Structure 1
Amino acid sequence: MDAKGAPTEGREFRLLWWTRRRGVALDVGLALLSALECAMQGIGFAHRTGLPTWLVVVPGALAGLALVVRRRWPLAVILISIAVLPANMGAALALVGLYTLATTDAPRRVIAALACMEGAGTVIVTYLLLDSDPAVRENVVPMWFRPLVALLFGVAMVLPPVLLGMYIRARRRLVETLRDRALGLERELGLLADRAEERAEWARGEERRRIAREMHDVVAHRVSLMVVHAAAVQAVAPKDPEKAAKNAALIGDMGRQALTELRTMLGVLRADSGGGERDSEAALASSRLAEIAGGRGQDGADRAAAEAASANGDGPRLTGLGELVAASRAAGMRVELAVEGERRSYHVLVETTAYRVVQEALTNVHKHAAGAAAWVRLAHREGEVAVQVRNEAPDGAAPAPAGARLPSGGNGLVGMRERVAALGGGFVSGPTSEGGFRVSAVIPDRAEGR
């Protein structure tokens, strides 16, 4: 017995060509019965022919014992049964041998040839026995009686074991086919389970990156401006209290705007989670997989967040670029906004992405090029919208006070590139030949996907 209580005898036992003990017992038992049958029929043959009994019985018994090798050499068993057939012996050899051969993968023509030989021999021997039997001769029977009886004996000796053996062979093949299919399905299910786990892990990572990107976009720009204004308040407070008070008021306004955007984003995240903080991670992974299965693409989570924000009327839009630029001007940056082309509305995700690119680019100017002039360009084109933020070299600008130096996590450009790439757009960033820096993004119009 194994650990589960199942018998292990059949799997562990092996003797020659047998794999189970009951197979050994069955074959040995059949061989003994066949030897006894051949011995008893050999006695009658010896009396009819006048041969010594032992000369017939011993070889007949040995021939009957050949049945013990039926699983290994079924063809030899049938040939032995045909060899002893003239002595009217080997009925068990023929029956069991034909059945065993029919259950193997032997060609059908071989099985048919041996069956015909066995059947023809049985018909001939049976006819001769009937013809030499005094009891049959004393009774007046039609001429066709003895051939018919011999033919019936031949068919009964051959047809049942062959048909039964072929049925068992077909059944075994069906069982093996079903077992192979079951094993194949089990392997496929295992692969699907592994792939689903990988997708779930990837979905969780995507959700974490999306949340980090949203937090960065919402917090970084406002907080950067607040830090700049705080440093300005610190610098001008002793000299110009009125200007310091104005800057402090701007800090308060920016803080309130940052809180409003944080509340909006957190509300969207709660709506995406589908209820229940206990299962938030599982819900996010499930929703991500559903979006993939539904063909929403890699930007499905961002689209859901942006559409939810747009439904509430709180999402950033391109019409808010003027206010964004004005906030940077209030922080002391020299920045100009230029709009080209006919103004029109885009898919909410396109407008949100373009707005975030400009917002993050201006934040980077505050961080890394304080005091440098910047230019923001928005171009409405056929089938796409393009934004560009360029700043001059910071060398000629006044250095930022120590308190206004902003930390950088290095994720701003990565987040912008991910946002634009998710919509199938192009993103380029890098230093200019004049020593400044440029950020450009071209985003396809997704109006048809609304």
Structure 2
Amino acid sequence: MTLTGEERGGAGRDGPLWWWERPREAALDVGLGVVSAAECGYEGIAFARDTGTPPVLGVLLGVLVGGALVARRRWPVAVVVLAIAITPAAMGFLLGVVGLYTLAASEAPRRVTVVLASMSLAGTFVVTYVRTRGDVEGEGFLVVVLSVFMAVALTVPPVLFGLYLGARRRLMESLQERADSLERELSLLADRAEERAEWARTEERTRIAREMHDVVAHRVSLMVVHAAALEAVAVKDPAKAVRNAALVGDMGRQALTELREMLGVLRASSTAPAPARAVVATAGTAEDGPSLGELEALVGQSRAAGMVVAFEVHGEPAGAVAGYAAEVEQTAYRVVQEALTNCHKHAPGARVVVRLAHRAGEVAMQVENGPCDGEAAEPGLPSGGNGLVGMRERVLALGGVFVSGPLDGGGFRVSAVLPGGSGGTATGAGAGTGAAR
């Protein structure tokens, strides 16, 4: 019979003898077996005398029967059946009591426990009645009462106690399983939370890197172009050199202003509660970032640096009062800004066309440069090689479409289409910006 917990012992182990989980269980069962064997051996002397057999055989039988209590955890049903079988010999009281307790506490079917307990009760009653009837003459009622008392006392308490301990053990095992399951779930939730936190940190680092590039790359590129022009005309045209120097100073101040604004947002996000940091940082850069209304000034800066740039606007924005979502306007601005920066780096002297088109529910932008002027020298600006990738990621993050590639007649084109959204409402996750092409 298979048991569980303390009463089960090592029933799941292989081998005919070693069914205990802990040494103290083995010591307890062996001790009970020794006491039971001594009791049955002593009672076997009387049994041998009543049956006319040699006392040695009675003692040997009693020792063998009583020693079976050692196997109570492994075979509780067999121990109880053996106790019931030797009830007529008036031996094995400890064997019967402990065997019934073990059977009731085990996971044996309850009907088996009830049947064997009833048989033990009936057997004890009959044996007690037969043995005491001759000793108490004329007191039949007293004999019955005494027999019932002995049968109940030797059967009901161990069964009830075993049922109680078995139910308690199963309850504790169930609670332990629930606790283990809850611990596993909590561990899984903690792992997932850590994964989400790591993902959020990675996204935040990527976003910060892109924002820093947006702020620095375009301004610094124009500053380098103006510095080169300043160097070229410093001697020949001092007035133009002064204007170029002023432009360099203005762009440097603008770059510093944008950097201060971004650092302020980052400080605010670092002091905010952990769940709100990404929201604060994203919201700050989206609401405080550039808009479509600043594209004219952006194009003007490139013109001031000597680039031939045409700016075309087609259509009217849907819901002109509300405008587009802040993320949409910022992304559109950054795409044009990065494309112009690439033109300064890789297409010096080329004619550039910037187109902005307002359509139903979306806004499209296109920056196209023609073939490079062979006489113009490249400014030697460094390139990270990730500009197009960054622009694509920014556009796709808002559910837009991004296309770029060389033109057949020479030159390069960058196109993007963004869903318009509604004013002040985000249409997607906070997007990053591109690095140099």
TM range (shorter): 0.7 to 0.9
2:404 to 402, 405, 429: 429
1:215 to 206, 212, 215: 212
How far did 1:365 drift? Answer: 0.8
Change (3 A) 1:162 1:434: farther
How far did 1:219 drift? Answer: 1.0
Task: State the match for 1:326 in structure 2.
Answer: 300
How far did 1:358 drift? Answer: 0.7
Q: How many residues align?
A: 406
1:354 counterpart letter in structure 2 = A
Once residues 418 and 301 of structure 1 are traced to their aligned partners in structure 2, the CA distance between those partners, rounded to angstroms, is 18
Change (3 A) 1:202 1:400: farther
2:397 counterpart letter in structure 1 = A
Q: Which has the higher contact order (CA 8 A, sep 6+)?
A: 2
1:375 counterpart letter in structure 2 = V
2:311 equivalent to 1:337: yes
Task: State the match for 2:27 in structure 1.
Answer: 25
Report if the CA contact (8 A) 2:72-2:99 is conserved: yes
Task: State the match for 1:5 in structure 2.
Answer: none
How far did 1:37 drift? Answer: 2.6
Task: State the match for 2:376 in structure 1.
Answer: 400
Report if the CA contact (8 A) 1:231-1:401 is conserved: no
Report if the CA contact (8 A) 2:266-2:281 is conserved: no
How far did 1:382 drift? Answer: 2.6
Describe the SS at the equivalent of 1:447.
coil
2:252 counterpart letter in structure 1 = G
Q: Which runs of 5+ in 1 are unaligned?
A: 1-13, 276-282, 310-314
2:286 equivalent to 1:306: yes
Normalising by structure 1, report the TM-score.
Answer: 0.82
2:175 counterpart letter in structure 1 = L
Report if the CA contact (8 A) 1:77-1:93 is conserved: yes
Measured against aligned partners, the alpha-carbon deviations of 1:299-337 in whole angstroms (never above 9, x if no partner) come to: x74333223x2xxxxx31111111111111111212111
How far did 1:218 drift? Answer: 0.8
Which segment is superposed worse, 50-59 or 100-109? 50-59
Task: State the match for 1:87 in structure 2.
Answer: 89
Q: Which runs of 5+ in 2 are unaligned?
A: 1-14, 427-437
Describe the SS at the equivalent of 1:316.
coil
Report if the CA contact (8 A) 1:370-1:400 is conserved: yes
Describe the SS at the equivalent of 1:442.
strand
Once residues 239 and 82 of structure 2 are traced to their aligned partners in structure 1, the CA distance between those partners, rounded to angstroms, is 122
How far did 1:140 drift? Answer: 4.0
1:165-204 alignment, distance < 5 Å: 165-204=162-201
Task: State the match for 2:71 in structure 1.
Answer: 69
Change (3 A) 1:325 1:301: same
Measured against aligned partners, the alpha-carbon deviations of 1:114-138 in whole angstroms (never above 9, x if no partner) come to: 222222211221221232x23x11x
Task: State the match for 1:420 in structure 2.
Answer: 395
Describe the SS at the equivalent of 1:305.
helix
2:178 counterpart letter in structure 1 = R
Describe the SS at the equivalent of 2:184.
helix
1:35-434 alignment, distance < 5 Å: 35-46=37-48, 48=50, 51-131=53-133, 133-134=134-135, 136-137=136-137, 139-142=138-141, 145-274=142-271, 286-287=274-275, 301-307=281-287, 309=288, 315-343=289-317, 344=320, 345-394=323-372, 397-401=373-377, 404-434=379-409
Identity %: 61
Once residues 375 and 281 of structure 2 are traced to their aligned partners in structure 1, the CA distance between those partners, rounded to angstroms, is 41
Once residues 435 and 102 of structure 1 are traced to their aligned partners in structure 2, the CA distance between those partners, rounded to angstroms, is 92
Measured against aligned partners, the alpha-carbon deviations of 1:51-93 in whole angstroms (never above 9, x if no partner) come to: 5444433312331122122222222222221221111111111
Measured against aligned partners, the alpha-carbon deviations of 1:201-247 in whole angstroms (never above 9, x if no partner) come to: 32222222122111111111111111112222222334333333322
